[in-house]
Amino acid sequence: MTSYTDKGEKPERGKFLRFHHVKFWVGNAKQAAGFYCDKMGFEPLAYKGLETGSREVVSHVIKQDKILFVFESALNPGNEEMGEHLIQHGDAVKDIAFQVEDCDFLVKKAKERGAVIVKEPWVEQDKDGKVKYAVVQTYGDTTHTLVEYMGPYKGLFLPGYEKPLFKDQLLAKLPPGCLSFIDHIVGNQPDDEMVPISDWYLKCLLFHRFWSIDDKQIHTQYSSLRSIVVTNYEETIKMPINEPAHGKKKSQIQEYVDYNGGPGVQHIALNTSNIIQAIVNLRARGMEFLSAPDTYYDSLREKLKTAKIKVKEDLKTLQDLKILVDFDDKGYLLQIFTKPLQDRPTLFLEVIQRNNHFGFGAGNFKSLFEAIEKDQDARGNLTALTSDGDLKAFY
């Protein structure tokens, strides 16, 4: 595991401030938004659709503290771009939006360095204010929308959005999700694509390397991964970029790439200040999480005996809830992963709490992989590599 301290040159102008929102393209935006509200503790925030004059695309925006998710579907038959995206990827993340300062400058610089600009800067406004946008292509079919507020914006979300049409009375009766903000967003790549993609962020967006691991550090008996985390100068936007590494069987990263039809967002990590309460509540709401075996906690207790840090939370409670712990000499983090949120084994969520620890759970990757391999096996996808590198079902 490597942490990087060199942030590179401070950008002369233009700033990436934070994650603004994540946009999903799905088959049925109303139902998808409802699922995240019911299971993960989000609340409806804003809407754009036929009733607001949007004739082609419907958008349901949901919110939890500082986390904003937007679910979009095509309204009419024959919307080729959204239709093809669904056929290829299923319900998936289409866009990761960043709030920025000086959108024009950032786009100009990205273009000079070779970025594909999907949409040049444009402005939208309504009675609540003015917002400037631009769209840049990143890995696969994923894009980044840059969002710049031109003065204070007083609306619910962005220009053109109105109040939700309906408020589900059930949501207020459910325990809160306790999730605060987007911690990081992970992109999975095919083999040998991780370095070119992470270099793209360094070159085109002036991000820098924050952290990395290779397959010598992270592997199970069957599979392994490599990962590079890139971040903006202020280190408020963290984007791990993963790729599979060669192993005896198909890596869960490769399984993702196969079912997603190429690279894409594998998981979104949501930060909480109280993971125990969050997971008690989310489990009560019916959310499914990956499970670590009891042997993981036996081994954890042994390691913590000689550790320089002390975990404040009760280990028995963490074990009962299947929350994982990773630590170094200075601090620790607590994390847990949901099962995939759609039938394709692609996108899932992570819930994470940090206590003076800025890593990504490298100490847990092996346990996480083993838990996912168990599910992969149940799906018939824990396949062995034959001598010529092809995959065959492993029975």
CA–CA separation, 338 vs 341, rounded Å? 8
The sheet carrying 67-74 orders its strands as 43-48, 57-64, 67-74, 15-25, 92-101, 143-149, 129-137, 117-126
In this structure, is residue 392 part of a structural domain? Answer: no
The pLDDT of residue 385 is above 70: no
In this structure, is residue 193 part of a structural domain? Answer: yes
370 in the same domain as 256 = yes
At residue 212, the pLDDT reads 87
The pLDDT of residue 160 is above 50: yes
Of 127, 143, 166, at which residue does a domain stop?
166
Mean pLDDT of 323-330: 94
At residue 215, the pLDDT reads 55
Contact 85, 199 (CB under 8 A): no
Name which residue leads in pLDDT, 358 or 70.
70
At residue 216, the pLDDT reads 57
The b-or-e profile of 105-118 (16+ CB within 10 A means b, else e) is: bbbbbbeeeebeee
At residue 369, the pLDDT reads 66
At residue 356, the pLDDT reads 96
Range from 125-129, 239-243, 322-326, 376-380 carrying the lowest mean pLDDT:
376-380
Confidence of residue 376 (pLDDT cuts 50, 70, 90): confident
260 in the same domain as 290 = yes
| Count of domains observed in the chain | 2
205 in the same domain as 92 = no
369 in the same domain as 264 = yes
The pLDDT of residue 47 is above 90: yes
Q: Is 72 annotated as a binding residue?
A: no
Mean pLDDT of 108-137: 97
Structural domain boundaries enclosing 51: 12-166
Q: Is 112 annotated as a binding residue?
A: no
16 has which bridge partners? 100
Confidence of residue 223 (pLDDT cuts 50, 70, 90): low
In this structure, is residue 3 part of a structural domain? Answer: no
259 in the same domain as 161 = no
Mean pLDDT of 9-13: 82
| Residues in contact with 350: Cβ distance below 8 Å, sequence separation at least 6, in sequence order | 183, 267, 268, 269, 270, 335, 336, 337, 338
Of 301, 321, 320, the C-alpha closest to 311 is: 301
**For residue 124, what is the enclosing H or E element?**
strand 117-126
> Could you read off the pLDDT of 143-152 as tens digits, one per residue?
999 999 999 9
At residue 222, the pLDDT reads 58
**Cα 293–299–302 angle (5° rounding)?**
150
The pLDDT of residue 186 is above 90: yes
At residue 220, the pLDDT reads 58
DSSP single-letter state for residue 162: B
At residue 386, the pLDDT reads 47
Mean pLDDT of 30-46: 98
The pLDDT of residue 184 is above 70: yes
Confidence of residue 393 (pLDDT cuts 50, 70, 90): very low
Confidence of residue 213 (pLDDT cuts 50, 70, 90): confident
Written as six digits, the tokens of 54 are 């949007």
CATH code of residue 117? 3.10.180.10
Confidence of residue 391 (pLDDT cuts 50, 70, 90): very low
In this structure, is residue 56 part of a structural domain? Answer: yes
190 in the same domain as 162 = no
Contact 151, 159 (CB under 8 A): no
21 in the same domain as 112 = yes
46 in the same domain as 145 = yes
Written as six digits, the tokens of 241 are 């970029």
In this structure, is residue 147 part of a structural domain? Answer: yes
In this structure, is residue 351 part of a structural domain? Answer: yes
79 in the same domain as 123 = yes
Q: Is 350 annotated as a binding residue?
A: yes
CA–CA separation, 159 vs 6, rounded Å? 38
Mean pLDDT of 337-356: 97
At residue 258, the pLDDT reads 95
Confidence of residue 368 (pLDDT cuts 50, 70, 90): low
152 in the same domain as 37 = yes
In this structure, is residue 391 part of a structural domain? Answer: no
196 in the same domain as 135 = no
Confidence of residue 250 (pLDDT cuts 50, 70, 90): confident
Backbone angles phi, psi at 151, to 5 degrees: 90, 175
In this structure, is residue 390 part of a structural domain? Answer: no
> Could you read off the pLDDT of 270-288 as tens digits, one per residue?
999 999 999 999 999 999 9
> Could you read off the pLDDT of 52-67 as tens digits, one per residue?
999 999 999 999 999 9
DSSP single-letter state for residue 223: -
Of 98, 133, 166, at which residue does a domain stop?
166
> Could you read off the pLDDT of 85-100 as tens digits, one per residue?
999 999 999 999 999 9
187 has which bridge partners? 241, 265
Of 138, 166, 194, at which residue does a domain stop?
166
The pLDDT of residue 330 is above 90: yes
The pLDDT of residue 242 is above 80: yes
186 in the same domain as 150 = no
CA–CA separation, 2 vs 228, rounded Å? 9
Mean pLDDT of the chain: 91
